[in-house]
Chains A and B, each alone.
Chain A
Amino acid sequence: MAPDVKPPVAVPGKPEAPAPKPSDDVWEHVAAMDEFRLLLLAKSEFVIPAVIAFVVYYFLLPISVGYFPQFMDKRIGPVNLAYLFALSQFFVAWLIAALYVRGARKFDDYGKRIMEHLDNREAAKGGK
């Protein structure tokens, strides 16, 4: 349907043409690659548990503080449980972010391999 070579000015009815647009079959090709499936798997294996963990940990705070204020006011050292729990949220958030950055190196590796594969494929086609 869409021509492979896009003119510099967008065509009516085809508003979101990014330049330069990869050819139409490349998406299906990448989607079928093992590296891409592994990339999606690795991402969901990290992101889904991480999102559940931080959402649960976070909402424990307003729930415990809101519904059990007496218990949360229990003194611990110079402060109380409520303040320590709130403060811990900052460090847990930073920890999850740090773990994600470390885990994301694997995603970048898969991404790089996919891009290299595509470059080789272009070269094999004898394009440029």
Chain B
Amino acid sequence: MSLTLILFLAFIAVTLVITYWAAKRSAGAGAYFAAGRRIKAWQNGVAVAGDYMSAASFLGIAGLIAFFGYDGFMYSVGWLVAYLTVLLVVAEPLRNAGKYTMADVLAYRMRPRPVRAMASISTLTVSTFYMIAQMVGAGALVSLLLKGSGITFHTAVIGVGILMIIYVVFGGMIATTWVQIIKAILLMSGTFLLSLLVMAKFGFSISTFFNAVQHVTYTANGQQVVKDFLQPGLRFKPPYGALDLVSLGIALIFGTAGLPHILVRFYTVPDAKTARYSVVWAMVLIGSFYIMTTFLGFGAATLVGRDYITKNGGTNMSAPLLAQAVAGNVFFAFISAIAFATILAVVAGLTISASTSFAHDLWTNVIHKGVERKPGEEVRVARVTAFVVGAIAIGIAIMLGPTANVAFLVALAFAVAASANLPVIVFSIYWKRFNTAGAVWGLVFGLVGSIVLIFIGPSLMGVDGKHFFNHAPIFPLENPGILSVPIGFIGAILGTLLSGHEATAEHKFTELQVRANTGLGSEKAALVH
């Protein structure tokens, strides 16, 4: 298994060289936070894909399909279609109106301090939850993949944490972007190769493949069962399964356009048109990837089997074990290294968006009322924050331990993004009457609503002794989107209507509208140096 370790080290070496190269180009806030806004459309598209396709997609989805068949594939669909919201509603206006963070757009025509403070809290919440989920997954995965090499869960978490801190603190957005690009290319080629090898096992016959998918054998409650894995309903069961499926769809479709680490990527390109083309690039890659999860997931179900996966590390190991089954240990090492790269690229993206929001929104604009007291202060604060955020994530991940159920943290991140961030982004750009109170209420309602509904739902409540609270779930759905997204919108509307007209907000609507639609006055790309 030492080949896996060698490939891990090779990836680390390449990314550290990139970080060193990027560090010399990261002088100044525009370069550090937004890569000088000189990233090309295809590069940003690939980086968005790299930022987005987390361990949850690569390992999680393969596992869900391997264990629950068709129902797992429902995630794949939502994760691509979500990009239409990004393309049609958010990407271009955001690029034109903002500077470094999501809050730039939300605070544009409002009283900046309350709006920025809340938007930053929401950003930090989404990023931290998402990051902890990735770190716990990373630790469990790395220690499993490198079994026998003496690397424990703790070492793995600390290692991943230190690497992400190095990328972000020294290399800023430029290094993060290139780590994401390399990861996306590795992930796409690995997935393509794995899909080909799976189909080769079925003689490249689609009908043989799907015939096997309809007769998957595994052990349930001590008995051999044969299931049709194309049949819906293996995971989302009555009475609430159908509603949970719709609710999940709402969180995915509207949450992606509110994920801060995805949104900040659109500040790295020169203009709105490039932002648009980069979304299209991302959609081509992300869509192709998620279609291929058909072969990864069903391949693992048919060629490896639930029983073997359960005995050898559980759902998350489905894709690596499939690689081992179709092409042996070398390919297993290659796919494992890709999984490792995947996690690193995503946590780096999360770290930089969290630290940028802290430095730009909370430190400069809320605490110091928009004044940078010394030149370069904002970047310095962001670097320190990246270090602190990384250390906190390492600490929490180690506290939770390798067996923690962290899937709900990802659900929570999407729910908060869809319920708190998206309503306020949409109203800021498209509703003239919208005001400061509306923005704050929308963020608070959406954030609190999602967190409360997750806490009283079946992810954290149950009577089987395995749950955080030993109590029957008060809210029946795993995904709160169907209720929390309307709560966010209603909060934003109520806050606006109950607080009376805000002259500045309505006056500046024209300015924002012109700027968002024409790019007049928008941040320009740095000159070539």
B-binding residues in A (CB < 8 A):
9-10, 12-16, 18, 21-22, 26-28, 30-31, 36, 39-40, 43, 47, 50-51, 54-55, 58-59, 61-63, 65-67, 69, 72-73, 77-80, 82-83, 86-87, 89-90, 93-94, 96-98, 100-101, 104, 107-108, 111, 114-115, 118
Contacts and interface: CB of A to CB of B under 8 A. Distances in A.
Contacts of A67: 242
B81 to A, nearest CB: 5
Given A79-B210, A86-B73, A89-B80, A12 B371 contact: yes
B303 interface: no
Interface stretch (B104-112, B160-168, B436-444): B104-112
Contacts of B372: 9-10
Contacts of A30: 514, 518, 520
Dominant secondary structure of chain A at its interface with chain B: helix
Interface in B77-94: 77-78, 80-81, 83-85, 87-89
Given A58-B249, A66-B241, A80 B370 contact: no
B356 to A, nearest CB: 15
Which label, helix, strand, loop or mixed, suits the secondary structure of the B interface?
A: helix
B370 A10 contact: yes
A12 to B, nearest CB: 6
Contacts, number: 171
26 contacts: A16-B108, A18-B522, A26-B514, A30-B514, A31-B510, A36-B518, A43-B517, A47-B88, A54-B88, A58-B77, A59-B246, A69-B232, A69-B233, A78-B207, A79-B210, A80-B231, A83-B70, A90-B287, A93-B80, A93-B84, A94-B287, A96-B84, A97-B83, A97-B279, A108-B273, A111-B518
Interface of B: 70, 73-74, 76-78, 80-81, 83-85, 87-89, 99, 104, 107-108, 112, 206-207, 209-211, 228, 230-233, 236, 241-243, 245-246, 248-249, 253, 273, 276-277, 279-280, 283-284, 287, 290-291, 364-365, 369-372, 510-511, 513-515, 517-523
Given A58-B81, A80-B230, A90-B287, A114 B370 contact: no
B292 to A, nearest CB: 11
Nearest to B84: A54
Given A18-B99, A62-B74, 13 more contacts: A13-B370, A51-B84, A51-B89, A58-B78, A66-B236, A66-B246, A69-B233, A77-B207, A78-B210, A90-B80, A93-B81, A94-B283, A114-B518
Given A10-B372, A16-B370, A69-B232, A36 B514 contact: yes
B204 to A, nearest CB: 13
Contacts of A27: 510-511, 514-515, 520
Nearest to B113: A15
Contacts of B76: 86
Contacts of A80: 230-231
Contacts of A39: 517-518
Contacts of A104: 273, 276
B290 A90 contact: yes
Given A10-B372, A63-B246, A93-B283, A54 B230 contact: no
A97 B206 contact: no
- From B73, B76, B232, name the one whose CB has the most chain A CB atoms within 10 angstroms: B232
Given A9-B372, A90-B80, A101-B277, A83 B245 contact: no
Contacts of A9: 371-372
Contacts of B233: 69
Nearest to B252: A58
A97 to B, nearest CB: 5
A15 B372 CA distance: 10
A100 B519 CA distance: 18
B120 to A, nearest CB: 14
Given A62-B248, A86-B74, A93-B83, A73 B232 contact: yes
Contacts of B108: 16
Contacts of B232: 65-66, 69, 72-73, 82
A66 B74 CA distance: 11
Q: Which of A10, A50, A62, A97: most chain B Cβ within 10 A? A: A62
Nearest to B205: A78
Nearest to A118: B520
Nearest to B249: A62
A94 B211 CA distance: 28
Contacts of B273: 104, 108
Nearest to B430: A44
Contacts of B107: 16
